[in-house]
């Protein structure tokens, strides 16, 4: 069955969350803590990401969006850093750091090459408004915003991938999930989607990312330009 | 409260459904019925539009998308025309006529002027895949596809307008509904949204549309360029 759509993981695959959150954390917190290590702060925050979604995946908590989950995990992180007492406006600005992320350098041209050939949409755990912020900042040419909010659940739950294919009125086999994370691709493949891995070996700093897939995938690409080339675009 | 987003009715307000469906009906059916009046066919089909959605609005039928409802109402229309026996591929092609509609001439430039100032999204009864077809064909610069499928209900039910505002994480007062139909605007206003009426006096042919609103609105515009001007864009 011919591929008709590509759906994308966003954090790490298209956007440099580590660099963006580190930058914003240093901007907002160094006035209070001059030696703050933005990279370590970003990684420590992200480490609280999966546990925050887990009760929603398990159905013990109603859907809450990433702004809400980031605000909660930030409180935990700030307490651990002895920064729990910072102003609420600073906390709010830190949550919005996740809205102010920049794309990797290959993304704009890669998506532009893919767009004439395929429907393109994010299939991220970001909610719709957060995805809009990402797209506006980085000119991501989405046909629609799919992902967690549409399914009201979080990847890697099958409902998220299947809701994306259903919204496009495509069979799972007509849709390829594009991600820099093997766990995301394994979950998509289990739903019948095609898979494309993008190498982001420095996602969380030098050597802190996947240089290649650790699971079988349909396409393994060095970046989005390489993906476009391999797909004949 | 400052307006941050404009959400749009699509059929009639942005796209010439009457001309597009008439064109496709003549292309597909004149080989079988040389004197087919495409305009009358389009109007007769559209007359079956509101009744088809009503059981879903009333909760007596689960959500079904416009492709499904158009396919059902087409059977009824073809039977009335003595054309029930046409090939199923022709029926399918007729349903897809609603995917192949052209925008009114003012739409592209109007949306381009509005886009730097506001979030823009359709809030139509079209499903996501249909909205994508409209956007791809006419280069509609949407930030996201909102509307009936997100709410799993049909306008003018309040859930559709409120789900659109919620997806944008905006208060209803920060969102303006833009439509060529006073009934749509009255329903949006009842939900707290702002309202902008676009004159489409020839929506269904000469004189077959609203030259102005029949309900109180915040803005009444001759076309999208006039709307942009009145909003200071």
Q: Which CATH number fits domain A17-99: 1.10.150.240, 3.30.70.100, 3.30.2350.10, 1.10.760.10?
A: 1.10.150.240
> In chain B, which residue's Cα lies nearest the Cα of A122?
B144
At the top level of CATH, the class of A5-16+102-230 is alpha beta
3-state secondary structure of B194: strand
- Beta carbons of A184 and A155 less than 8 angstroms apart: yes
Chain B residues whose beta carbon lies within 8 Å of the beta carbon of residue A135: 143
Per residue in A5-43, pLDDT (tens digit) is 999 999 999 999 999 999 999 999 999 999 999 999 999
The pTM assigned to this predicted structure is 0.97
Among B residues 129-158, those touching chain A with beta carbons less than 8 Å apart: 129, 131-132, 135-136, 142-145, 149-150
Looking at residue A106, what is its pLDDT?
A: 98
> Which residues, other chains included, contact B67 with Cβ-Cβ below 8 Å and sequence gap of 6+?
A169, B95, B98, B127, B130
Residues of B in contact with A150 (CB under 8 A): 150
Question: In chain A, which residue's Cα lies nearest the Cα of B134?
Answer: A143
The domain over range B5-16+101-230 is classified in CATH as 3.40.640.10:
no
Query: Least CB-CB distance to A135: which of B143, B145, B167?
Result: B143
Mean pLDDT, range B3-26, rounded to an integer: 98
Chain A environment of B150 (Cβ under 8 Å):
150
Banded pLDDT at A60 (limits 50, 70, 90): very high
Reported as a single tens digit per residue, the pLDDT across B95-149 is 999 999 999 999 999 999 999 999 999 999 999 999 999 999 999 999 999 999 9
List, in sequence order, every beta strand (DSSP E) within chain A. Answer: 5-8, 119-124, 146-147, 175-179, 194-198, 219-221
Q: Do A168 and B132 touch (CB under 8 A)?
A: yes
Q: How many CB atoms lie within 10 A of CB B215?
A: 14
pLDDT digits (tens, 9 = 90+) for A179-233: 999 999 999 999 999 999 999 999 999 899 999 999 999 999 999 999 999 999 9
Residue A132, pLDDT > 90, answer yes
Nearest 10 degrees: Cα torsion A8, A132, B113, B231: 160
Query: Directed axis angle between helix B17-29 and helix B88-95, to 10°?
Result: 160
pLDDT in tens, B197-215: 999 999 999 899 999 999 9
Is 80 exceeded by the pLDDT of residue A1? no
Task: Convert the pLDDT of each residue in B20-40 to its tens digit.
Answer: 999 999 999 999 999 999 999
State residue B213's pLDDT score: 98
ipTM exceeds 0.85 = yes
pLDDT of res. A127 = 98
Q: Where are the domains of chain A?
A: 5-16+102-230, 17-99
pLDDT of residue B1: 72
Q: What was the pLDDT predicted at A189?
A: 98
Task: Determine how many CB atoms are found less than 10 A away from the CB of residue B48.
Answer: 17
pLDDT digits (tens, 9 = 90+) for B42-83: 999 999 999 999 999 999 999 999 999 999 999 999 999 999
| Chain A residue numbers touching B128 (CB-CB < 8 A) | 144, 167-168
pLDDT one-digit tens code per residue, A42-57: 999 999 999 999 999 9
pLDDT-based confidence at B220, cuts 50/70/90?
very high
Contact A115, A5 (CB under 8 A): no
Question: A175 and chain B: CB distance < 8 Å anywhere?
Answer: no
Q: A138-193, pLDDT tens digit by residue?
A: 999 999 999 999 999 999 999 999 999 999 999 999 999 999 999 999 999 999 99
% of chain A beyond a pLDDT of 90: 99
- For residue A15, the 8-state DSSP code is B
CA B176, CA B192: separation in Å to the nearest integer?
9
Distance to chain A for B129, nearest Cα, Å = 5
Span A69-93, average pLDDT: 97
- Which residues on adjacent β-strands are paired with residue B198? B221
Q: Which residue of A has its CA nearest to B165?
A: A129
* B 89-108 near A (Cβ less than 8 A): none
């Amino acid at each position: 069955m011919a591929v008709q759509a590509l759906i994308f993981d966003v954090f790490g695959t298209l956007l440099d969350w580590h660099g963006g959150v580190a930058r914003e954390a240093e901007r907002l917190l160094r006035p209070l803590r001059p030696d703050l290590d933005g990279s370590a702060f970003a990684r420590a925050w992200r480490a609280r990401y999966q546990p925050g979604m887990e009760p929603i995946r398990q159905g013990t908590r109603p859907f809450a969006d990433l702004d809400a989950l980031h605000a909660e995990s930030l409180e935990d992180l700030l307490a651990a850093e002895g920064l729990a007492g910072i102003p609420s406006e600073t906390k709010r600005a830190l949550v919005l750091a996740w809205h102010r992320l920049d794309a990797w350098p290959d993304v704009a041209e890669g998506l532009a090459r893919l767009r004439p050939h395929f429907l393109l949409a994010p299939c991220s755990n970001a909610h719709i408004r957060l995805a809009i912020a990402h797209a506006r900042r980085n000119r991501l040419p989405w046909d629609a915003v799919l992902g967690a909010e549409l399914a009201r659940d979080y990847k890697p739950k099958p409902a998220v991938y299947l809701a994306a294919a259903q919204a496009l009125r495509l069979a799972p086999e007509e849709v390829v999930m594009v991600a820099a994370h093997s766990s995301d691709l394994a979950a998509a493949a289990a739903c019948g989607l095609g898979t494309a891995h993008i190498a982001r070996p420095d996602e969380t700093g030098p050597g802190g990312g996947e240089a290649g897939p650790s699971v079988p995938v349909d396409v393994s690409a060095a970046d989005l330009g390489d993906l476009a080339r391999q797909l004949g675009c």
